[in-house]
Every structure is written in C-alpha cells, then in structure tokens.
Amino acid sequence: MLRLVFLVELGYAFMGAGIGAGIAALGAGIGIGKIGGSAVESIARQPEESGKIQTAMLIAAAFIEGVALFAVVVCLLISFKA
C-alpha cells in the first residue's frame, strides 16, 4: 500500500512538472509574440528608429527566453527530486 502511495505521489510530481514547464513555455511564447508585434508596429510608425527598436526587442526577447528556460529547468529538477 505504501508503495502505491509513493507511485501516485511520483506521478503527481511528474504531472506538475510537465504542466509547469508547459505554462512557462506558453508564457514565453505569448511574451515574445507581444514584443514582436509591438516592435513591428513601432518600426512602422518610426522607420528611422528601426535599429534601436530591433536591438531593444532582441534583448527583451532574450531575457524572456532565459526566464522561461530557467522555469523549465526548475520544473525538471523538482520532478527528478521526487
């Protein structure tokens, strides 16, 4: 009986890690999409500033991607610890 409870808890840990990693990836996709859309709109309004806008967009997208990768790694570490 105790082994069955352990296996159920292990399943919950894996399920929680998968859901957490999925939410992190979804949030990163939405955030990068919003950044890209806003950057294209800004470049359309002020084409002379396209270099500055593009640089800022890439830096912000890299930070978002880094946070999402960190969240996925934390989820995986939690699932392996269980």
Q: What is the 3-state secondary structure (H, E, C) of 3-62?
A: HHHHHHHHHHHHHHHHHHHHHHHHHHHHHHHHHHHHHHHHHHHCHHHHHHHHHHHHHHHH
**Across the chain, what does the average pLDDT equal?**
90
| pLDDT interval class at 82 (50, 70, 90) | low
Residue 24 has pLDDT above 80, yes or no: yes
Residue 3 falls inside a structural domain: no
Token readout for 42 is: 């800004």
Tally of structural domains, the chain? 1
- % of the chain surpassing 90 pLDDT: 63
What value does the mean pLDDT take over residues 43-54? 94
Residue 1 falls inside a structural domain: no
Which residues form the domain of 26?
14-81
Q: What is the pLDDT of residue 25?
A: 92
Residue 5 has pLDDT above 90, yes or no: no
For residue 66, give the H/E element and its range.
helix 50-81
More confident residue, 35 or 17: 35
